[in-house]
Structures are given as C-alpha cells and as structure tokens.
Amino acid sequence: MDKKVYSKEGKELRTIELADAVFAREVSEGSIWHAIRNELANMRQGTAKVKTRREVRGSTAKPWRQKGTGRARAGRRQSPLWRGGGVIFGPQPRDYSYHMPKKLKRLAMKSILSLKASDENFRVVEDFSVESGKTRDLAAILKNFPSDGRTVVILGEDDRLIKRAGGNIKDLRFLTYNRLRAHDLYYGKNILVLEGAAKKLGEFYGGQA
C-alpha cells in the first residue's frame, strides 16, 4: 500500500510504501471487539461495595416479640427488608481484568490499522518533535491537520517533550508503535502516524501472525 507523506505544515512531500500485512489486510471485526472489551475491563477499578446484613452495625435484639403485636414477625434490624439494613446480592470488590491471547490482540491492532488506513483522515507525517515542550508549538502543527473529533498521534519512540506539549490539548492522544491501545485507535477520527513509526509498525506487526 502506498501513502503520501506530509510535512508538519500539511504539504505533500513524497510517497511511502506501507506493509500490506499490517495496513491492507482483511479486517477482523470480532478481534477488534474483543480487544476493546479487554481494555475497558482491565481499566475497571472494581471497588464498588455495599454492606450485607452481617456487616451492618446495630443491635441484634429482636425488635418485638414473635406473636401478638399484629405486625409482621422480625428477627433483627439488619434485615434487607428494613430501611438501613443490608443489601441482597449487592456489588462487592472484584477484579474485572482478564488475559487476552497475544495473537488475537495483534490481529485486532492490524485490523484497526487496516481499517483506518483506508480512510482519508489517516495520514503519514514526517518525523517531528516539539523541542520547546510548549503546547502552542504543537497546536500550530496540529492546525494543519484539522479534525472534528479525537486526534491520535502514533510515535516511533517515547517522546517526553511532545507528550508534555500535548497534555493540555483536548481530544489528543499519543500512542507508541509498540504500545497501541485499541480503544483510542479505533475511535480516533484523525490518525497521524509519524513516518518512522509507520516503518516500525510494519516491522513490529508484519512478521507476526
């Protein structure tokens, strides 16, 4: 697959050949669904907690005698039937995370990249950095690639300065070629892949099943 390479000013420079095994393969929708579900599940804190009847503090004395009062029989005030009592089958702390097979995750990433590469909002941009680490310098570059939603920039290496510059920009996400996130990538409206990252993506995913 051939794609145009743009300068950081938004002008066409040259053409780059992307690995078909990564950017032009058949899309597996099922693997994408599993990858996004796995990421969202792993992000859940699982700290929701309610008290059962044995955890509610209070007297264990019988509220009134069993018979003769005309009221329903009651054993203790911690009963779930009472206001302030315990909760039946309520949420308890748990771990929602689970392991996803590596092959399935790789398939999902390649499927998303192939899906996005067929869109006009997928652009390969020459390698650049923000030496000043200032938001305004990065914002000036992003203005050349307008988007009506989330912008995702895929980096060839972990660039601390460019991430610092983009920390205050709304709807901007940074991903490194070897640490992609399916959720951010799939829902990104504007995908900017640095030229070096595009080559590394082909090497990283191209030789794997």
pLDDT number for residue 148: 84
What ranges do the domains of the chain cover?
2-26+101-206
SS3 44: coil
Residue 207 pLDDT > 80, yes or no? no
Beta-bridged to residue 155, according to DSSP, are: 176
Give the other-Cβ count within 10 Å of 58's Cβ: 12
Mean of pLDDT over the chain: 93
Residue 128 pLDDT > 70, yes or no? yes
Helical axes 102-117 vs 195-206, angle rounded to 10°:
140
Q: Which CATH architecture has domain 2-26+101-206?
A: 3-Layer(aba) Sandwich (3.40)
How far apart CA 174 and CA 68 sit, in angstroms, is 71
Burial class of 32 by CB neighbour count within 10 A (0 to 12, 13 to 18, 19+): buried
pLDDT number for residue 18: 93
pLDDT number for residue 146: 84
pLDDT digits (tens, 9 = 90+) for 29-79: 999 999 999 999 999 999 999 999 999 999 999 999 999 999 999 999 999
Q: How far is CA 30 from the centre of its chain?
A: 17
pLDDT interval class at 143 (50, 70, 90): very high
Retrieve residue 30's tokens.
Answer: 């099922």
pLDDT number for residue 1: 85
Secondary structure letter of residue 161 according to DSSP: H
pLDDT interval class at 206 (50, 70, 90): confident
Cα separation values, 176 from 53, 102, 179, 190, 201, Å: 49, 18, 5, 16, 10
Give the residue from 88, 67, 66, 62 showing the smallest Cα distance to 77.
62
SS3 164: helix
pLDDT interval class at 201 (50, 70, 90): very high
pLDDT digits (tens, 9 = 90+) for 156-181: 998 899 999 999 999 999 999 999 99
pLDDT interval class at 126 (50, 70, 90): very high
Retrieve residue 177's tokens.
Answer: 């070629």
Retrieve residue 108's tokens.
Answer: 């999902």
SS3 197: helix
pLDDT digits (tens, 9 = 90+) for 93-110: 999 999 999 999 999 999
pLDDT interval class at 208 (50, 70, 90): low
